[in-house]
Structures are given as structure tokens and as C-alpha cells.
Amino acid sequence: MIKDFTIEYRTNPIGIDVNPRFSWKLEGKGKNVTQKKYQIQVIKSGKMIWDSGLIESDQSVLVPYSGGRLEPMSVYHVQVSVWDNHGEMGQKTGKFEMGLMSNDNWKADWITHTIPVEETMCPVFVKDFDIEKKVREARLYVTCCGVYEAVINEKRVGDVFMAPGWTSYHNRIQYQTYDITEMLEEHNNVSIMVGNGWYKGYLGFDERPDHYGDRTALLAMMHIVYTDGSTEDIGSDIDWIVETGEVTSSEIYYGETQDYTSKKSEHGNAILFQNTDVIGSVTAQESEPITITERIKVKDKIITPKGELVFDFGQNLTGIVEIKLPKLSGSKLVIKHAETLDKDGNFYTENLRTAISTDCYVYDETSIGKCVMPHFTFHGFRYICVEGVGEEIDAGHFTACVLHTNMQQTGSFVCDNKLVNQLQSNIIWGQRGNFLDIPTDCPQRNERLGWTGDAQVFCGTASYNYNTALFFQKWMRDMNVETTPEWGVPHVVPNILGDQEGAAGWSDAATIIPWKTYQIYGDKEILAEQFPLMKSWVTFIRSRVSRNGLWQTGFQYGDWLALDIEAGSTDRTGGTDKYLVANAYYAYSTKIVRDAAHELGLEAEEREYGRLYEEIVNAINKEFVTESGRMVSETQTACTLMLYFDLVKPEHMERVLTTLEQNIGAHRNHLTTGFLGTPYLCHCLSENRLHDLAAEIFMKDDFPSWFYAVKKGATTIWERWNSILPNGDFDESGMNSLNHYAYGSIGSWLYEKVAGINCLEPGYKKIKIQPFLTKGITEVEATYESAYGTIKSAWSCKDGKICADILIPANTTAEICLPEKEETVFVGSGEYHYEYETSTNLETQKYSTESTLGDLVAEELGVKLFNEIAPGMLDNPMIKFAYDMTIADLIQMAAESKPLYQAVIDALNENEREYYEN
Ligand code: BGC
């Protein structure tokens, strides 16, 4: 009767340092199931330490442990019992184990090595020890300045990569807990290798090393509990030995070199790490770790025109390549990584800028057949170029290993339109590629930083696809500690770019992400924890406003990369007035702080920010909208932000909406928006009776549009609308990532508007299902695994019938508003099926007599058919003048040509249909 019992969002977690909260999902059969009461009992070593008693409540998400003090390194068993309104009762058990809870519990020293600074080999800290008694349980607690990999008795400990993850190391650093019970023997060898990682490695635009310190260091402790009840701690100290092995260099941007011919060398004993004051508090791992989540085989072997040996994995991804070492023809095996080939089919790495992204393996006959992979780097790639082996090499030697934060997938969206499904896949892969412990802008070039703007625009979509509660909670904590009253919220978190004043749309991540996270997961603790940060961002802007109450100074990214700049301009901040953008976000953030204060019961703050919000909205209208409702900046993004953030006075709504519609029309129903306008454009149109226009913009497949990239073969979301130009050239090489998730923010429109899944009360306690029929899609099925259970919305509209299948999880309620139905249906949990007649036809025919002759001959098939049916027609030098004319016009001029054009139109539409279906 209950399922998915989780503790702090995890199943049976070990090594947590927080007061845990318990969540479960009811599975009651039938309709209108709600929870009547629950009871939670927590047991330690057979003794009950907390019994909640019978609680009459429907709370089933994030119920806090409210017993006595929890002990470090101790295991607690939990039993939850639940009764529903139909008299059903269910029970689930789980357990959790506390971490070290306090820095005082580390029976270990921070240690480092004496290897010369200019040396690139990765130090390995080694300890041999014997145990005499039988082990009941053993744990390894470990962290480092750098990134580590631990091995016990020649076996890798755990499956985590790039640990301890990236935090604001000066303020806080995470440790990880591993169960090593089964790994210990009588004689033990522990070796922990440490790479430079984000701590000491080369990072940022200036590619400087040593952002946090110039020496890697380790803190490790094994805690062993013997069967007789006694315990022993073996901690890092100056008895540990330092060695170097096969990893001769490793850098995130540059890749890793391993030399299996070099001998292990010893570098004496470890020494105490003196600079512990550069590191902040050591805290337990907060989010899911980075692991290999998928292994992908080579799809194609290519010899490029330049003669390069290239393997294609068929998917742009982030990770590393595992190699079964082949026989060498040269002196070493070199693996280069690239996202794409150029238009001639050659290996293309210019868009990586100076990120060399190359792994090297030096070895002799004795290592052939060994399985290897880099330890402390990752690459953004679809293709690898291999050097040092003969062309006959078998593709089976190479496997791409996908790396990212291992979040639970929570959303799915499938429909009968192949392009839409590919786009959804690209969005998911964009997220997988860039949720690598922190939300990064891109995974391939010499950047890979936690850009706040990118994360802010994508966080809604991201949270449909995966459970991001812990991921964002961890990252927001770093944002919190890196925010100052002087500079505001940084542009990247962790901030390695130095002091820069906060910027609109980027620094607003401070308010938008906690608020979104609260709405999606119903987690008030996250909201309360981040509330001071949310306030401080608004306070920062407030300290910058001019006499008119508006923020009109300082650097702004504006509507980054928007297309509506003046012709010839190289400005990347778009055509929308940058201060309109800044103040729209100022108002939006202020409103969020007001609403958050309301949720947290902070009445004084709610009033204060409510007043401020009114003032800002008035000031914005004075400055940016004329008395008759004309916007001073009439771009798509300006109108969208004003409408979506609810800043337009009621009497001006129609005018602003018309301005938006006209602007879109002037661009042949294409978008021109950048990072800040794009996430809201389609939402805004759908919510303001222009859903068909939103659908038309969305369904475009020529530049600029989402499907332009899909049709160009993209398998992730591009940084620019035209990262690759129609002729196959690259827009530019400097800032041209093919794996940037910002424009993937359209994903939330697919879930919320096309499928119609919406949250009315935090955590989806109350749901709204309101699908919008969308031309070009006749069948949709979307699911979202909410805190209460699976929500499903599936609909079809074809052959004169609309069908809808909706699933509402137990312990929630929903409003269902179906297309072409007037009334809203209020329901409880259960499965609902609807079927009714319609005259709506959502199928699209791409070609018609409204198409131009140019449209028809833009397709290879069109040219072929004209040449077959009317040989010589296209060779007439005058025909080019007819390219801009519609077929309707041409038929009017020569009625006898009608069957010819109709045949071509029909064939092209048929071809399109097959393309969508297969
Ligand atoms: C990043 C972006 C980021 C931007 C700030 C770029 O280099 O890749 O995605 O938001 O800088 O303007």
C-alpha cells in the first residue's frame, strides 16, 4: 500500500550529517485515496528511540525525525505505518546511517606530499595494515583537496568519479562514506590517488592553476567495528607513504596521460598539510554522486578525408572512454575528443578552444588487453580520433562511459512527432552532459563553469526530467557562501572568476532556483535555508537603484545571444533594452521573495517586499511603457518578460500582446529571443490565447528554431540558434558549444502546456492537468514522478476524436481542464479516461499551394521530380525569378501546370510523413 520510502530523498542512505526527513508514496487502489494517519518508529540497536505516535495527518512528504539526538556513525532502522481513508494499512521499513557529524570525529590528519610543485604526476597515499579480529562493519570516510580515487586490496572503492565534487572549497568541502566491510582482509593495502581536479587544476578563461591551493592533500579515515563490539580507526597521518604510479598528468581541460612502462616510485612519508585554513568545513556528501550511468558502444568507424581514424558514438555526451588496450603501431595510444566533424567530414576541435581534451596511454606488450580509463578528467564528445594504432583496429576496444550526477529520472515525454522526440532526447542529454556535480554551461571547452544564468533558465525543465532537489540544494549552499553585500550573487558558482557585480537573469538564480525547488518538491527547509540569500540579492539590487527606483547601472548580459541585434553588430547581449530586462527580473525576484516570506509565515517581510514590488512595477511602467501602452523596447523578449512576469497594467495587456504578435509575424513566425526570453516565450503565448502561434514557432524547422538544429543532426542542445550554419560552416569557433542546455528550457512548455502537467500546490499536492492541442502532434504521453507518485497525462486527437488518459497519484487532488471543454473537473487520485468528438485536425502538411517554388526545390526530392516530370524546366535560366512566387500564383499564370505542382507537393508531403513516422 506504500512505496518509495526515502530518507532525505535517498534510499537507505549512509553518511548523512543532517536531521533526516522521511517521505513515502501511497499506492491505494481505486479513486480518491488520501492518507488519514501515519506513525513513524525509529530504532537503534534494537531500542526504540523515537515513536511519533499515531498522527492524524495527510503529510507523506519530508516528515522530519523529531526524536532525541542522533549519534555519529550509527545506524537507525525506521518503520513507517500508514492508514488511508479506505481503511487500508501499509508498512515500509528503511534505515539510515549518520556520518561523522562533526569535524571533531575525524581521527585523521590532513596530509600532503613533498613532490616538487612542477611535477605533474598524481600522488598516491598508501597505507598497509593488518587486522586480527573479525570485521562486522567497516567504513571509509574520505575527502581531499583535489579529486581522489581509493583502492583497497587492488579493488576500486565505490563507483564515484570526481569526488569529493566541486564546492566553494574555501568555505566547505564534502567527504564521502563508503561501505568497505567486504573489502578488508587480514593484510590490507589502501591507496588513494589524488588528482588536481577543480582545486588545483587549470580552470577559467585565463586557465590559471591553483584556484584554491597549490598542493593536493588528503583526509581519510577507516572506521572498523569488530564482531566483538570493539572499534578501530585508521586515519591518514604521516605514517602513510607517498608513491607515484602510472598517472603522469591529469587535468580537467587537458585530459590524462597514463604510462604503464614507468615504475612505481616512492616519495617518502606523507607530511602534515599545513594549509588547512584554506579549506572550509568538512561536510557529508549532499547530493547524488557522479557515476557512470551508461556505457555506449561505437556506432561507426570513419577514416576522414584528412586520413584521421575516427570513431563515432552516435551521441554527444559527457564522460570518458574506456579502452581495452590494443596492440600499438606507434609509441603510444592517443585519444582526442570532439563534439562534431566539420563540413568536410574531418575531426573538428576548434570549438574546444584551448581545452586539449586528449588522453594518452604509454604501454608495452605486457599491458595489451588491459582495461583502462582516465581517473580525473572528463570530456564533452561524440567522436574520438585515435592515434598510435593501425586502421584495422576493432571498434570494440572503445566504450564511451557517460558521467554525471546520478539523479533519479522523473520525467518522460513522448509523442508521435519524431522531431519533438529527438528534441526531448537532446534536452535530456544536455542535462546529463552538464549536471556534473554543479550545473555547468558546457562540458567540452575551457570553461565548464557553474554559470548561474544558464542554470536559472533551465532549472524548471531540469526538474521535470530528473529529481534535482539535492543537486540544487548543494549548489545553492555554495551560492550562499559566495554571495557578498559588495558584489551580490556571482555569475559563476563556485566563483573562480573573481569579484564582479551581480547581473540580471544570472544572479537571479538566487531567488528563482530555491523558489522553483520549493514548488516542485514542497521542501520548506530548502526555502527557509535559502531565504536569507534570496533577500540579500534583492537588497543588493536595491542598493544600486537610481532615484527613479530602477536599476540602471552596471554590466548586464541582457538577453544573451538573442538574434535581434542590429545587422552587423557583434553585441552578444541582444536587442532588448538591457535595463528593461534588469528591472523585469528585479521585480520578479522581489515578488518571489514576497511569496517565499508568505510561505514561511514571515509577515513583516511579506509586507515589505510586497510594497517594494508594487513600487518597482510602477517605476517600470513609468520608464518603459508609454501612457497608451506602447513599450519602449518592442522586442519579443521585452514583451514576453513584461507579460510573463505580470508587469503589464491590465489596460495595456492587449496592446503589449499585439506588439509581441506583430514582432513575431515580422519574423515570419520565428523567434528572435536569447537566453532570457526563450524560456518564457512559448509559455507566455500559450497563456495569453496565442497557443497556436507558440506551436507554430515551436514547429519551425528552419533557422532560427529548435528543429533547425535537430534536422542538422544535433543530439544535444546548441549554445547558439545557428551554431552550425545551413552551409555546414560553424557560426564562430570561440563561443560555440554544441552542448549547452539553456535553449532546452522549452522542455517545461512540453510538460506543462503540450502534455498539460502543472503544479498548483507545492510538491504537486494539488495538480492541474490542462493539455493544449498542438498542431503537428496528434498523440502525447507524458509522465512525471512527483513526491506523491506518478502523474500521467496522455492524449490523442485524431480521426475526429479526442481521447485523454490521466493518472493522479494518491494523497493528491487535481483539476482537469480538457481541450475544447468548458468545465473544469475536480478529482481525487485515480485513473481517468475521457473520449469525445472533435472537428480539429492537428496533422500538418508541410507543403501546399501556399509554398513557394523555392520551397519545393529546396528539397532534393523536389528537384528530382521536376526533372523527371518536366525535364528541362529547372534548367531554364529564367526559372530563378519564379522561386519567390507561390505555387498558387504560378498555377494562376499557367493552369495546365497544376497536376505537375500537385504531384510534387503530394510526394513531398508523403516523404515528410514517412520521415516523421520512422
Ligand atoms: C557561457 C554562458 C554564460 C555566459 C555569460 C558564456 O561563456 O558559456 O553560457 O552564461 O558566458 O554570458
Task: Point out the ligand 1 atom lying closest to the alpha carbon of residue 675.
Answer: 10
Cell numbers 575528443 label which residue?
A: 337
Average pLDDT over residues 585-605: 98
Determine the distance separating the centroid of ligand 1 and the alpha carbon of 454, expressed in angstroms: 7
Q: Is 90 exceeded by the pLDDT of residue 907? A: yes
Determine the pLDDT at residue 888: 78
Residue 211 pLDDT level (bands cut at 50, 70, 90) = very high
What is the whole-number distance in angstroms between the Cα of residue 582 and the centre of ligand 1? 17
Average pLDDT over residues 538-556: 96
Counts of helices then strands in the chain (DSSP H, E): 18, 45
Strand partners, 126: 191, 241
Q: Is the CB of 447 under 6 A from ligand 1?
A: yes
Going from the Cα of 742 to the center of ligand 1, the distance in angstroms, rounded, reads: 10
Taking 70 as the threshold, does the pLDDT of residue 116 lie above it?
Answer: yes
Burial class (CB in 10 A: 0-12, 13-18, 19+), 852: middle
Task: Please state the atom number of ligand 1 nearest to the C-alpha of residue 491.
Answer: 5
* Whether residue 256 has its Cβ less than 6 Å from ligand 1: no
Instruction: Name the residue with higher pLDDT: 426 or 566.
Output: 426
pTM for the full model?
0.94
Tell the residue nearest (CA) to atom 2 of ligand 1.
Answer: 441
Residue 263 has what pLDDT? Answer: 83
Residue 157's alpha-carbon distances to 141, 152, 183, 712, in angstroms, are: 11, 7, 8, 42
Beta strands in 762-828 (DSSP E): 766-769, 779-786, 789-798, 801-808, 813-816, 825-827
* Residue 97 cell numbers, joined: 546511517
Strand segments, DSSP code E, in 392-515 are 398-405, 411-415, 435-436, 438-439
- The stretch 892-905 carries a mean pLDDT of 88
Which H or E run includes 265? strand 265-269
Please report how the helices 418-434 and 898-917 are oriented relative to each other, as an axis angle in degrees rounded to 10: 40
Spatial contact of 130 and 188, defined as CB atoms under 8 Å apart: yes
* pLDDT tens digits, 833-859: 999 999 999 988 788 877 889 999 999
Among 15, 289, 287, 276, CA closest to 169: 276
How large is the average pLDDT for residues 745-752?
Answer: 98
Residue nearest to atom 4 of ligand 1 (CA): 451
Mean pLDDT computed over every residue of the chain = 96
**pLDDT computed for residue 435 by the predictor:** 98
CB of 453 shorter than 6 A to ligand 1: yes
pLDDT band (50, 70, 90) for residue 54? very high
Q: Is 442 in the pocket of ligand 1 (CB under 6 A)?
A: yes
Nearest atom, ligand 1, residue 740 CA: 9
Q: How far is the CA of 435 from the centre of ligand 1 (A)?
A: 16
- The pLDDT of residue 910 is 87
pLDDT at 891: 85
Confidence at residue 204, expressed as pLDDT on a 0 to 100 scale: 93
130 pLDDT band (50/70/90 cuts)? very high
Under the banding of pLDDT at 50, 70 and 90, the label for residue 895 is confident
Interatomic CA distance for residues 310 and 391, integer angstroms: 10
SS3 398: strand
- Site to substitute for ligand 1 among 560, 573, 723, most atoms within 8 A of C-beta: 560
Tens digits of residue pLDDT in 816-832 = 999 999 999 999 999 99
pLDDT band at 916 (very low <50, low <70, confident <90, very high): low
The pLDDT confidence band at residue 277, using thresholds 50, 70 and 90, is: confident
Q: Whose CA is nearest to atom 8 of ligand 1?
A: 441
- Residue 10 — very low, low, confident or very high, per pLDDT cuts 50/70/90? very high
Q: Is residue 451 in contact with ligand 1, taking CB distance under 6 Å? A: yes
- pLDDT of 269 higher than 80: yes
Which residues partner with 271 through β-bridges?
Answer: 112
From the CB of 559, is ligand 1 less than 6 Å away?
no
Each as own residue / partner, the long-range contacts of residues 820-823 (CB below 8 Å, 24 or more positions apart, any chain) are: 820/773
pLDDT band at 705 (very low <50, low <70, confident <90, very high): very high
> Sorting pLDDT into bands at 50, 70 and 90, what band is 918?
low
For the stretch 508-535, pLDDT in tens is: 999 999 999 999 999 999 999 999 999 9
pLDDT digits (tens, 9 = 90+) for 878-891: 898 899 888 878 88
Q: What angle do CA 96, 99, 103 make, to 5 degrees?
A: 160
pLDDT surpasses 90 at 914: no
**Which ligand 1 atom is nearest residue 557's CA?**
12
User: Is 447 among the catalytic positions?
Assistant: yes
Element (H, E) at 692: helix 691-699
Can you tell me the mean pLDDT for 194-206? Answer: 96
CB-ligand 1 contact for 441 (6 Å cutoff): yes
Q: What is the pLDDT of residue 917?
A: 65
Of the residues 447, 482, 606, 696, only one is catalytic, namely 447
DSSP summary character for residue 9: T
Distance 632 CA to ligand 1 centre (A): 27
Query: Distance between CA 446 and CA 733 in Å, rounded?
Result: 13
Q: How far apart are the CA of 449 and the centre of ligand 1, in A?
A: 9
- Among candidate residues 246, 719, 752, 785, the one labeled active-site is 719
Decide whether any atom of ligand 1 lies within 6 Å of the 427 Cβ.
Answer: no
In the beta sheet, which residues pair with residue 244?
A: 123, 265
> Residue 141: its pLDDT value, please?
98
Q: Which ligand 1 atom is at minimum distance from the Cα of 453?
A: 10
Q: Can you tell me the mean pLDDT for 120-137? A: 97
Question: Ligand 1: which of 440, 441, 495 to mutate, judged by most atoms within 8 Å of the beta carbon?
Answer: 441
Nearest CA to ligand 1 atom 11: 451
pLDDT band at 733 (very low <50, low <70, confident <90, very high): low
Q: What local confidence, expressed as pLDDT, does residue 571 receive?
A: 84
Residues 37-60 have a mean pLDDT of 97
Closest-CA residue, ligand 1 atom 1, reads 441
Cα of 736 from ligand 1 centre, angstroms: 10
Span from the CA of 491 to the centroid of ligand 1 (angstroms)? 9
- Residue 288 CB–ligand 1 contact under 6 Å: no
Q: Is the CB of 560 under 6 A from ligand 1?
A: yes
Q: Looking at ligand 1, which atom is closest to the CA of residue 506?
A: 10
Is 97 designated active site? no
Average pLDDT over every residue of 365-394: 97
Instruction: Locate the ligand 1 atom nearest the alpha carbon of residue 742 and give its number.
Output: 9
Does the C-beta of 674 come closer than 6 Å to ligand 1?
A: no
Residue 452 alpha carbon, nearest atom of ligand 1: 10
Rounded distance from Cα 740 to ligand 1 centre (Å): 9
Which 3 state secondary structure label does DSSP give 833? strand
Which residues lie closer than 8 Å to 479 by C-beta, 6 or more apart?
Answer: 452, 489, 490, 493, 509, 510, 533
Query: How many angstroms is it from 507 CA to the middle of ligand 1?
Result: 13
Q: Which one of 567-576, 751-760, 875-884 scores highest in mean pLDDT? A: 751-760
CA-closest candidate to residue 783, choices 801, 811, 760, 764: 764
The predicted-structure confidence for 251-263, as pLDDT tens digits, reads as follows 999 999 999 998 8
Q: How far is 158 from 179, CA to CA, in rounded Å?
A: 8
For residue 841, count other CB atoms closer than 10 A to its CB.
12
Residue nearest to atom 9 of ligand 1 (CA): 441
Compute, in angstroms, the gap from residue 441 CA to the centroid of ligand 1: 7
Residue 672 binned pLDDT confidence (cut-offs 50, 70, 90)? very high
Collect all residues with Cβ–Cβ distance below 8 Å to 299 and sequence separation of at least 6: 312, 313, 314
Task: Say how far apart CA 681 and CA 629 lie, in whole Å.
Answer: 20
Atom of ligand 1 at shortest distance to CA of 454?
A: 10
The response to whether residue 416 sits with its C-beta less than 6 Å from ligand 1 reads no
Given a cut of 80, whether residue 721 has pLDDT beyond it is yes
- 197 pocket-lining for ligand 1 (C-beta < 6 Å): no
Backbone angles phi, psi at 818, to 5 degrees: -90, 155
Nearest residue by C-alpha to atom 3 in ligand 1: 451
Measure 530 CA to ligand 1 centroid, in angstroms.
Answer: 24
Task: Specify the pLDDT at position 298.
Answer: 98
Mutate to test the pocket of ligand 1, among 351, 353, 447, 451 (most ligand atoms within 8 A of CB): 451
CA of 33 to the centre of ligand 1 (A): 47
